[in-house]
Amino acid sequence: MAAPVRSLQCALKKSIVPPLVVILGATGTGKSKLAIEIGKRRQGEIISADSMQVYRGLDIITNKVTAEERAQCTHHMISFVDPLVSSYTVVDFRNRALALIEDLYSREKLPIIVGGTNYYIESLLWRVLMDVGQENEGEGKKGGSIDRKAELEKLGGAELHRRLTEVDPEMASMLHPHDTRKIARSLQVHAETGVPHSHWLEEQRGQEGGDVLGGPLRYPDPCIFWLHADMESIDERLDRRVDDMMLAGLLDELRDFHLRFNQQKVQDQSQDYQHGIFQSIGFKEFHEYLTCPDETTQEARETLRNQGVENLKMATRRYARKQNKWVRNRFLKSEYLGLFLSPSLLFLISPSLLISPSLLISPSLLIYLLTWL
């Protein structure tokens, strides 16, 4: 390599080391693989921003990294919450992850956020005013807050939406009447602060560094990679992944977990697929199979099994679309192939990059990866 080129690379390496890296993308696009490669090359450690991977158990259905992958690069925020806990919140995640990021900085390690769950990522990237008062709350108060939200959700979408319209018509106009969790959250914010949720959001956007997307960034100039491909290719990858999960023992994992933690709830008609680890994609889809009576014929069981597999594939595809929609709505003001500049360094990457580096779609991205990695 010529000396001028080496000098340019050294200068670029020193000038574009970001405070942290965030890897986004639909499920099944290879985020963990890219994170591990960056971690190995840049003295980084990986923080999982996945609301289901925080729970112990269900390693297959939640698609946790394998022991071999964890040995290649240190991973955090995986398998540390009891599966019977249904009250682990985004605030709990944020507080633990922010402390972890500070620890990584103190050890001169690069934090690599991989997600995952949209609102978990948001809680790390943006400052959210309405949560400031919750950061140092005791367990009792926090538990009461969670209980209030859970009680609200039981009222149903129509009644919740009516109540929100009375106290915060602007927020009510932005939320679908069936989105009970978000409506309950807005009502909770109003009840606990006395200020409409929409006013909080407007104040965040008005802060120095805030914009139409929300409050100011917590870390200036993060480097954000978006792994993306056409939906047909993603669908094919996801279908293959479900088939691989089945071969890896998915049904045995679900059956064992159901017998230990969910069977009695089903018998009592108190099962809850809206909170905690039981909202993982897979439980609802295989509910009929897991709860079929002992006298069910083998043929009928096989039919229920096949229906569960197809339901799981469809649910996973829907989730992938939801993840990509969030990236577009949250980050992109203008869309074109190559470099995205809102709110910081956001690079679009084809998953084929992970197989063949020659297939990078953007010259600017090629320069960045060759010099920084």
pLDDT, tens only, 252-278 = 999 988 888 766 666 665 566 667 777
pLDDT, tens only, 211-240 = 555 567 888 778 888 888 888 889 999 999
**The two three-digit tokens of residue 323, written as one number:** 């993840």
How far is 6 from 3, CA to CA, in rounded Å? Answer: 5
- Half-sphere exposure of 303 toward its Cβ, with a 13 Å CA cutoff? 6
- Residue positions counted in the chain: 373
pLDDT of residue 371 exceeding 50, the answer is no
Q: Report residue 19's pLDDT band, with 50, 70 and 90 as the boundaries.
A: confident
How far is 132 from 125, CA to CA, in rounded Å? Answer: 15
Report which of residues 40 and 351 the model is more confident about.
40
Q: Report residue 127's pLDDT band, with 50, 70 and 90 as the boundaries.
A: confident
Average pLDDT over residues 128-133: 49
pLDDT, tens only, 337-352 = 333 334 445 666 665 5
Q: Where in the chain is the domain with CATH 1.10.20.140?
A: 144-206
Q: Answer for the pair 238, 316: CB distance below 8 angstroms, yes or no.
A: yes
pLDDT of residue 357 exceeding 50, the answer is no
Alpha carbon distances (Å) from 69 to 45, 226, 238, 334: 12, 21, 20, 36
Name the class of domain 232-320: mainly alpha
What is the CATH code of the structural domain delimited by 144-206? Answer: 1.10.20.140
Q: Where in the chain is the domain with CATH 3.40.50.300?
A: 16-131+217-231+328-372
Fold of 16-131+217-231+328-372: Rossmann fold (3.40.50)
pLDDT at 150: 62
Average pLDDT over residues 20-39: 89
Average pLDDT over residues 182-194: 80
Indicate the DSSP class of residue 66: P
Q: Answer for the pair 158, 177: CB distance below 8 angstroms, yes or no.
A: yes
Q: Which residue is it, tokens 């279908």?
A: 239
Average pLDDT over residues 34-50: 92
Q: Where in the chain is the domain with CATH 1.10.287.890?
A: 232-320
What value does the mean pLDDT of the chain take? 77
pLDDT at 367: 40
Q: Which residues contact 316 (CB under 8 A, 6 or more apart)?
A: 27, 28, 238, 241, 242, 281
**The two three-digit tokens of residue 142, written as one number:** 């926090």
